[in-house]
Amino acid sequence: DTAVSQTPKYLVTQMGNDKSIKCEQNLGHDTMYWYKQDSKKFLKIMFSYNNKELIINETVPNRFSPKSPDKAHLNLHINSLELGDSAVYFCASSLRQYNEKLFFGSGTQLSVL
Amino acid sequence: AQSVAQPEDQVNVAEGNPLTVKCTYSVSGNPYLFWYVQYPNRGLQFLLKYITGDNLVKGSYGFEAEFNKSQTSFHLKKPSALVSDSALYFCAVRETGANNLFFGTGTRLTVIP
């Protein structure tokens, strides 16, 4: 069983569209994250939720909205997609907050045309 | 503010030779230091961490890292490189009281047969 799974793996869309990426973890972890990896492989935290509560919200455009219906799921919705949103988005989880052993999903390659 | 630097974008080493991937950090207070590895089209995987105690930390796949406080470094090492070690390696740091990890820009390791 995949520990952290995110869908879709690839997402190609037009500028201005709205899209969502889903993430689920079956590890029983309390904390989940969204990271963005740009074309130069730079990895930056976007959001973190602990037991469904938002604990990290970095400087991210408000077009990006995370939603955590339960602690096993953290979805990312993006409105009005822009060219600069093209990147690989990684979901991750950890046993608890401040536990740095992160388990990553395999990523969603988003291409905005 | 926390930061981490990986001065080499690319490291090439012959199979069987020792390898070193460099990392230096800057934090307020005591650092929590980590290494992650990313194989192609995969999410990052945890390799090892330093929190406190022995300066030499052993991790997965035969890797180890040495914490050097005076040089603010945490270099990743392996005595004998394998072709399968070829991947992208990320150093990360968290300072006391911070919520999240801050990742370096990554070093691509290529082990030549």
pLDDT tens per residue, range B58-77: 999 999 999 999 999 999 99
Give the mean pLDDT of chain B: 92
Q: Within its chain, how far is the Cα of B107 from the centroid?
A: 9
Percent of chain A past pLDDT 70, that is, above it, reads: 98
- Interstrand relation of B87-95 and B31-38 (parallel, antiparallel or unpaired): antiparallel
The predicted-structure confidence for A61-82, as pLDDT tens digits, reads as follows 899 999 999 999 999 999 999 9
B11/A52: higher pLDDT: B11
Q: Which residues of B touch A (CB under 8 A)?
A: 32, 34, 36, 41-46, 49, 88, 90, 92, 94, 99-103, 105-106
The mean pLDDT value for B71-85 works out to 97
Which amino acid, one-letter code, is at B12?
Answer: N
Question: Does A39 contact B at CB distance below 8 Å?
Answer: no
- Beta-ladder partners of A10: A109
According to the model, what pLDDT value does residue B30 have? 84
Does A57 score more than 80 pLDDT?
no
Does A1 score more than 70 pLDDT?
no
The mean pLDDT value for A45-52 works out to 89
According to the model, what pLDDT value does residue A42 have? 87
The predicted-structure confidence for B12-43, as pLDDT tens digits, reads as follows 999 999 999 999 999 888 889 999 999 988 88
**DSSP class per residue in chain B:** --EEE---SEEEEETTS-EEE--EEE-SSSEEEEEEEE-TTS-EEEEEEE-SS-SEEE-GGG-EEEEETTTTEEEEEESS--GGG-EEEEEEEEETT-SS-EE---EEEEEE-
